[in-house]
Amino acid sequence: MEQGKEFFIGLDLGGTSLKYALGTSGGDILIKDEMDSKADRPQKEVFEVIFKAIKVLREEAKTRGGFVAAIGLGSPGAVDFEKGKLKGNTPNFLHWGDAEIKKTIEAEFAIPCWADNDANVMAFAESRKGAGKGANNVIALTLGTGIGGGILIDGQLFRGTRYAGAELGHITIDYDGEPCNCGGYGCVEKYASAPAMVKNYIEKLTTAKMSIPDKVSTKIIFARAKEGEKQALETIDDTCKYLGAALASIINIFNPEIIVIGGGVADAGDEFMRRIWAATTARTMKPSLEGLKLVRAKMGNDAGVVGAICMASEMYYSQKRD
């Protein structure tokens, strides 16, 4: 039995970097850093990156007079939470398919490990330490290159029967809409993600015979909207309508207490949030709106590691009790 204070490791594996942090049982970060995740390299090398981060943090725990009690990891893709194993492939991670995350890490370090889908982990962070703290029924939506989702019911993550649930970005908002790489059509991700917003904006500029900047980003769109440019304002209005349609469906189904919006696009500010709220409430069944809050995520870039620390800590103590 290890002696001293119990610390927890949170790992956030992404297509460009592995974020890693050492935290307390309450999910407070003590130190954090990141390194290249080597997403294009063979699986063995990605695990070596993970091992390196764990070794650094294990030393840190020792220095602080304690030990690492458990490790949590958020990964892209569907993750079998019981087995801590990736189910199938992830598009931005060439050789990460079917990775045995829990088994491999536990074999190397003899420290209990839990792995989950990254959007779930972020939603968990918001529900334990962020904007959704104290709420039982939380919906988290991350707006970025894609649209990720997490659902907490009675304080617990809802993962679905085969760990493939909570794909909120793939709610159909147009029956005959654009084909999506999920196999469906007209998914909200195809209309309200950052790339979709950029595409919509370029189309509007083209129609208006206006010049198109070299690198169009959502940042540029929001900046130009602030200056009052019609095409930028219309693009944002469209995005809010698309999101509103998806959110109204989510609210009608789950009747949540709070909806937390995160990701790059959500950093656009309160005016954007007000517009999303207006577009949403215009088409939501009224009883669900009572007391409902729509807020911006609080955890920012730390959401992945904090969520992983909180998850590891909760699982560790719940197993210790049993």
Beta pairing class for 147-153 and 293-296: unpaired
Integer angstrom CA distances of residue 155 from 122, 291, 296: 14, 18, 19
Q: Kindly state the smallest distance separating residue 114's Cβ from Zn ion, in Å.
A: 28
Helix, strand or coil for residue 262?
strand
- Decide: is 178 part of the binding site for Zn ion (CB under 5 A): no
Q: CA geometry: angle at 170 spanning 165 and 172, to 5°? A: 125
Q: What is the signed CA dihedral for 162, 163, 168, 172, rounded to 10 degrees?
A: -20
Selected range binding Zn ion among 115-123, 142-150, 182-190, 201-209, rule: CB under 5 A? 182-190
Q: Check if the beta carbon of residue 250 is closer than 8 Å to that of residue 168.
A: yes
CB nearer to Zn ion: pick between 23 and 150: 150
Selected range binding Zn ion among 42-50, 75-83, 128-136, 177-185, rule: CB under 5 A? 177-185
CA-wise closest residue to 130 among 314, 313, 305, 274: 305
- Decide: is 223 part of the binding site for Zn ion (CB under 5 A): no
- Decide: is 282 part of the binding site for Zn ion (CB under 5 A): no
Q: Count CA within 13 A, CB hemisphere, residue 200.
A: 23
CB nearer to Zn ion: pick between 143 and 315: 143
Q: Which residues pair with 281 in a beta bridge?
A: none
Q: Which of 38, 58, 102, 170 binds Zn ion (CB under 5 A)?
A: 170
- Decide: is 184 part of the binding site for Zn ion (CB under 5 A): yes
- Decide: is 91 part of the binding site for Zn ion (CB under 5 A): no
- Decide: is 102 part of the binding site for Zn ion (CB under 5 A): no
CA–CA separation, 276 and 286 (whole Å): 17
- Decide: is 187 part of the binding site for Zn ion (CB under 5 A): yes
CB nearer to Zn ion: pick between 129 and 190: 190
Q: Kindly state the smallest distance separating residue 183's Cβ from Zn ion, in Å.
A: 7
- Decide: is 192 part of the binding site for Zn ion (CB under 5 A): no
Q: How many CB atoms lie within 10 A of CB 318?
A: 9
- Decide: is 182 part of the binding site for Zn ion (CB under 5 A): yes
Selected range binding Zn ion among 40-48, 178-186, 272-280, 311-319, rule: CB under 5 A? 178-186
Applying CB under 5 A, which residues contact Zn ion?
A: 170, 180, 182, 184, 187
